[in-house]
Chains A and B, each alone.
Chain A
Amino acid sequence: MSEKAERLVNLTVALLETRRPLTFTDIKRRTGFYGQRDHESGRRMFERDKDDLRRLGVPVVVEDLAFGEDQGYRVVRRDYEFPDIDLTPEEVTALAVAVHLTGGEGTRLALTKLLARAPDPAPLENAPPVQVRIAADAVDAVASAVVTRTALRFTYRTADGRLGERRVDPYAVVQRRGSWYLVAHDHERAALRAFRLDRIQGRPRTVGEPDAFRTPADLDVASAVSGPEVAGIEVDLAVDPTARWAVESRGGSWTGQQVDGRPVLRVAGLDEDRDLAWLLGLAPGVRVLAPARVADKVAAGLRAVLEVHDAEPVQETT
């Protein structure tokens, strides 16, 4: 392993230092590696090393040489090097604190790259009493496509369990309420969609070349992930004291009426399908009084729960 690490560093240096592309023979001479007696196995080792470097982000380019049939390799310095950022010592401290507060999972090395040539941090009195976890590793599978603007295809499972193939232009990744979304233009549906990253099955594959699309100037990622606006309805609920808090936190307010000794609260802006689960989860502390259509849907949902558990709505008496 140690030999491999040294080989990869030396290969990087050799490819960076050259002005003209190096042939495989040049590379052997410069680095002292890949000189196996069996030419083919030396060549294969070089190919693997080159692929490893590319995975690290070292931009190894291959060029056809004007003379001979061989190919040449090199790394263009300006594509390799990260330009200096003009950060103040306070900003350096702030970035270090931010990465520290998140535990630094998978971001420590990237930060060190950024700060390699930055000023030393300013002293900080107290770290803020906050810890943040965002699990950004979820974005790795789509990161490259988003940054290089390359189309993607993947298998996607919708919220109701249907599987389908999607082909998209990936515009943005967004985290909202702890879930990661890919905001993208769906080719087949010819519309903007938000895909939950944890519902993408397997690894997304890129399609075609980078820079294949432009992100619309008026893209609003926040509204893309909050879903289509729904025409909310008003629902009247008879509410037990135990559930009152939950209903009030959804904006429910007392109508001044009582039914069977329970106060009636009115909640506006509910979606009769999407919020059905919320109403079911509050049962039996909450009973829907109106509209009847919603009360029926809740009753049907409860019946379905009883059916899968082999139970009747009313306990049989023996």
Chain B
Amino acid sequence: MSATQEVARMLTLVPWLLQRPGATLAETAEAFGVAPQAIRRDLGHLDFCGLPGLGGGDLFEVTLVGDRVVVSMADELRRPLRPTPAEALRLVLTVDAVADVLGEDLPALRSAVTKVREAVGIPEDVADVLEDDPNERELIAEALRDGRRVRLSYQGRGDDAPVTREVDPWTFHVQHGVWYLQGYDHGVGERRTFRLDRAADVEVLAVSITQPAPDSLPPPTYAPAPDDPQVVLELTASARWIEEALTVDEVVERADGGALITFRTDTPRWIARLVLMAAGGAEVRSPDALREDVVRLARAAHPDS
């Protein structure tokens, strides 16, 4: 935490506490998303702030009784500092994205977003999140709300064909514009994550869920495991979009705009498809098995075969 970040918080902390005399340390820390010790430290600083130079000093008064805080004599900072353009833009985009995702589940958010946009001067034609609304969303949302099991047809990245699954739905994740459902997959007897754009034929069953959601769920994106195979691809400049589709461990830039990239994957089959899509812009340098897979697929598809 740099001194300037502390200052940004302190300049907001003063008006926040002026508005809420007697707030507890815990609720203050909660509102600022920091540990109570950080607030305690800020208050220690603020006790020495104000206008020290004017005839013996005109400092803020910070009183801490038990865990309740009162700040007074700090009227100079009665209102918060305006958010910076970057802060304002992030906030607007974030709440807008959530409003899109929740639709009518949280109607007050729509009107709140409009008011926030107006207050920070960022209308919709300056910053917007365009969410795809997957067809299957409504049905699954209904199942989530009512605690009912769903049946869906799903083709994972590593699957040859769609498989019918029965799932106790737990939560939606919308990660960078992609919708995921997390839930308990009765076929495998474990938690699974489903990308909604790979799901079809969703049916809400007349069965209540039997596996309740755990208190916290990990984010849905693939995190490479240490024993997943490592892949090295050589990309030309025109195939650099592949990098954007992966979580890459290492990139070695080439003078001609190409790159050598290294990453791990649990679905080599999907990587082979990406290499085919690059139409010669990507070469598998290792492992050999993946190289052979690519050659086998390309040969099988070539009209001379």
Contacts and interface: CB of A to CB of B under 8 A. Distances in A.
B231 interface: no
Contact of A276 (B31, B177, B257, B279): B279
Contacts of B295: 306, 309, 311
A225 interface: yes
Contact of A277 (B77, B277, B291, B302): B277
Contact of A299 (B49, B108, B302): B302
B70 interface: no
Interface stretch (B184-192, B222-230, B233-241, B260-268): B233-241
Contacts of B101: 130, 132
A83 B295 CA distance: 64
A5 B45 contact: yes
Interface residues of A, number: 126
A144 interface: yes
B115 A130 contact: no
A175 B283 CA distance: 31
A165 B199 CA distance: 42
A105 to B, nearest CB: 9
A139 to B, nearest CB: 5
B126 A147 contact: yes
B40 to A, nearest CB: 13
A213 interface: no
B303 interface: yes
B129 interface: yes
Contacts of A178: 175-178
B33 A104 contact: yes
Given A9-B45, A94-B112, A308 B6 contact: no
Interface in B263-293: 273-280, 282-284, 291
A175 B127 CA distance: 8
Interface in A104-144: 104, 106-117, 128-137, 139-140, 143-144
A234 interface: no
A6 B41 CA distance: 11
B200 interface: yes
A304 B200 CA distance: 34
24 contacts: A13-B51, A81-B82, A85-B115, A95-B116, A98-B109, A99-B95, A107-B91, A109-B32, A110-B90, A112-B16, A114-B120, A131-B171, A132-B94, A132-B174, A135-B176, A139-B86, A147-B126, A160-B238, A172-B128, A177-B132, A215-B125, A283-B300, A302-B276, A305-B276
Which 9 A-B pairs rank lowest in CB-CB distance, beginning with the nearest? A161-B237, A304-B280, A283-B301, A178-B177, A178-B176, A301-B279, A284-B301, A147-B85, A91-B112
